[in-house]
Amino acid sequence: MALATGCGASTKPTLNVLSVHQSPARRDMVVYVEVVNPAARPIKLQKLQYTFASAGTPAGASPAATGEVELGARLVAAGAAVVVEVPLPIDALEIAGDNLILAGRLFAEQDRIIRRFDVEAEVATPIERDWDHLAP
Protein backbone atom coordinates (compact mmCIF):
# COMPACT_ATOMS: atom_id res chain seq x y z
CA MET A 1 0.00 0.00 0.00
CA ALA A 2 1.13 3.53 -0.63
CA LEU A 3 1.88 5.95 2.17
CA ALA A 4 0.52 9.44 1.65
CA THR A 5 0.87 12.50 3.81
CA GLY A 6 -2.46 13.85 5.03
CA CYS A 7 -3.38 17.08 3.36
CA GLY A 8 -6.22 19.51 3.45
CA ALA A 9 -6.89 21.09 6.82
CA SER A 10 -10.64 20.49 6.53
CA THR A 11 -10.28 16.70 6.33
CA LYS A 12 -7.38 16.24 8.75
CA PRO A 13 -8.30 14.24 11.88
CA THR A 14 -8.02 16.22 15.08
CA LEU A 15 -7.23 15.32 18.69
CA ASN A 16 -9.11 16.65 21.70
CA VAL A 17 -7.88 15.74 25.17
CA LEU A 18 -10.88 14.76 27.27
CA SER A 19 -9.25 13.92 30.60
CA VAL A 20 -6.18 12.64 32.43
CA HIS A 21 -6.58 9.88 35.02
CA GLN A 22 -4.47 7.47 36.98
CA SER A 23 -4.09 4.12 35.23
CA PRO A 24 -5.93 1.44 37.22
CA ALA A 25 -3.12 -1.07 36.71
CA ARG A 26 -0.02 1.12 37.16
CA ARG A 27 1.31 4.29 38.76
CA ASP A 28 1.26 5.99 35.37
CA MET A 29 -1.49 8.21 34.04
CA VAL A 30 -3.79 7.70 31.06
CA VAL A 31 -4.75 10.52 28.71
CA TYR A 32 -8.17 9.99 27.14
CA VAL A 33 -8.06 11.52 23.67
CA GLU A 34 -10.95 11.98 21.27
CA VAL A 35 -9.95 11.43 17.64
CA VAL A 36 -12.35 13.31 15.36
CA ASN A 37 -12.77 12.44 11.67
CA PRO A 38 -14.11 15.57 9.92
CA ALA A 39 -13.79 13.97 6.46
CA ALA A 40 -16.77 12.98 4.34
CA ARG A 41 -15.48 9.38 4.24
CA PRO A 42 -14.68 6.90 7.02
CA ILE A 43 -11.13 6.19 8.16
CA LYS A 44 -9.57 3.19 9.88
CA LEU A 45 -7.14 4.24 12.56
CA GLN A 46 -3.92 2.20 12.52
CA LYS A 47 -1.58 3.69 15.14
CA LEU A 48 -0.58 6.86 16.92
CA GLN A 49 3.11 7.66 17.37
CA TYR A 50 3.31 10.36 20.02
CA THR A 51 5.46 12.54 22.23
CA PHE A 52 4.67 14.50 25.36
CA ALA A 53 6.69 17.69 25.81
CA SER A 54 6.48 20.98 27.68
CA ALA A 55 4.61 23.65 25.76
CA GLY A 56 7.78 25.76 25.55
CA THR A 57 10.14 22.97 24.46
CA PRO A 58 12.37 24.17 21.61
CA ALA A 59 12.43 22.21 18.35
CA GLY A 60 14.96 19.39 18.49
CA ALA A 61 14.90 19.13 22.29
CA SER A 62 14.22 15.77 23.92
CA PRO A 63 10.54 15.19 24.74
CA ALA A 64 9.41 14.23 28.24
CA ALA A 65 8.00 10.92 26.89
CA THR A 66 7.47 9.09 23.61
CA GLY A 67 5.48 6.06 22.58
CA GLU A 68 3.16 4.36 20.14
CA VAL A 69 -0.40 3.11 20.51
CA GLU A 70 -1.67 0.42 18.12
CA LEU A 71 -5.29 1.20 17.32
CA GLY A 72 -6.27 -2.09 15.68
CA ALA A 73 -7.91 -0.66 12.55
CA ARG A 74 -10.62 1.13 14.54
CA LEU A 75 -13.22 2.49 12.15
CA VAL A 76 -14.23 6.13 12.54
CA ALA A 77 -17.27 7.05 10.46
CA ALA A 78 -17.43 10.31 8.54
CA GLY A 79 -17.97 13.17 10.99
CA ALA A 80 -17.67 10.85 14.00
CA ALA A 81 -15.15 10.40 16.80
CA VAL A 82 -13.64 7.66 18.95
CA VAL A 83 -11.78 7.77 22.26
CA VAL A 84 -8.21 6.50 22.47
CA GLU A 85 -6.18 5.86 25.64
CA VAL A 86 -2.61 7.19 25.55
CA PRO A 87 -0.28 6.23 28.43
CA LEU A 88 1.53 9.09 30.17
CA PRO A 89 4.37 8.19 32.55
CA ILE A 90 4.35 10.11 35.82
CA ASP A 91 8.04 10.83 35.21
CA ALA A 92 7.03 12.83 32.13
CA LEU A 93 4.73 14.99 34.25
CA GLU A 94 7.53 15.68 36.68
CA ILE A 95 9.87 16.66 33.81
CA ALA A 96 7.41 18.68 31.73
CA GLY A 97 5.32 20.44 34.36
CA ASP A 98 1.76 21.66 33.86
CA ASN A 99 1.86 22.74 30.21
CA LEU A 100 2.08 19.48 28.29
CA ILE A 101 1.60 19.11 24.56
CA LEU A 102 0.69 15.76 23.01
CA ALA A 103 2.03 15.74 19.45
CA GLY A 104 2.60 13.02 16.93
CA ARG A 105 1.63 11.19 13.81
CA LEU A 106 -1.69 9.46 13.36
CA PHE A 107 -1.70 6.70 10.74
CA ALA A 108 -5.06 5.85 9.20
CA GLU A 109 -6.38 4.07 6.14
CA GLN A 110 -8.68 6.07 3.91
CA ASP A 111 -9.77 4.97 0.44
CA ARG A 112 -7.36 2.00 0.68
CA ILE A 113 -4.39 4.33 1.20
CA ILE A 114 -2.46 4.59 4.46
CA ARG A 115 -2.20 8.26 5.31
CA ARG A 116 -0.10 10.05 7.94
CA PHE A 117 -1.53 13.05 9.74
CA ASP A 118 0.46 15.34 12.02
CA VAL A 119 -1.66 15.95 15.12
CA GLU A 120 -1.33 17.96 18.32
CA ALA A 121 -3.35 18.71 21.45
CA GLU A 122 -2.80 20.50 24.75
CA VAL A 123 -3.00 18.32 27.86
CA ALA A 124 -4.47 19.79 31.04
CA THR A 125 -2.50 17.91 33.71
CA PRO A 126 -3.45 17.48 37.35
CA ILE A 127 -2.07 20.24 39.55
CA GLU A 128 -1.35 17.99 42.53
CA ARG A 129 2.23 16.72 42.44
CA ASP A 130 2.22 14.41 45.46
CA TRP A 131 2.60 11.12 43.60
CA ASP A 132 3.11 9.07 46.80
CA HIS A 133 -0.65 8.66 47.19
CA LEU A 134 -0.91 6.72 43.91
CA ALA A 135 -1.14 2.94 44.04
CA PRO A 136 2.09 1.07 43.20
Q: What is the mean pLDDT of each run of 10 residues along the chain (136 residues)?
A: 45 91 78 94 96 75 86 93 91 69 94 94 64 46
What is the pLDDT, as a whole number, of residue 59?
Answer: 64
Both ends of the chain: CA-CA distance in Å? 43
What is the pLDDT, as a whole number, of residue 132?
Answer: 46
Task: Render 43-87 in DSSP notation, one character per residue.
Answer: EEEEEEEEEEEETTPPTTSPPSEEEEEEEEEEEE-TT-EEEEEEE
Structural contact between residues 62 and 126, judged by C-beta atoms closer than 8 angstroms: no
What is the pLDDT, as a whole number, of residue 8?
Answer: 43
What is the pLDDT, as a whole number, of residue 98?
Answer: 64
Cα 43 from Cα 51, distance rounded (Å): 23
92 class by beta-carbon count within 10 Å (0-12 exposed, 13-18 middle, 19+ buried): buried
Cα 25 from Cα 91, distance rounded (Å): 16
What is the pLDDT, as a whole number, of residue 58?
Answer: 63
What is the pLDDT, as a whole number, of residue 86?
Answer: 94
Side by side, which strands form the sheet with 81-88? Answer: 14-22, 29-36, 81-88
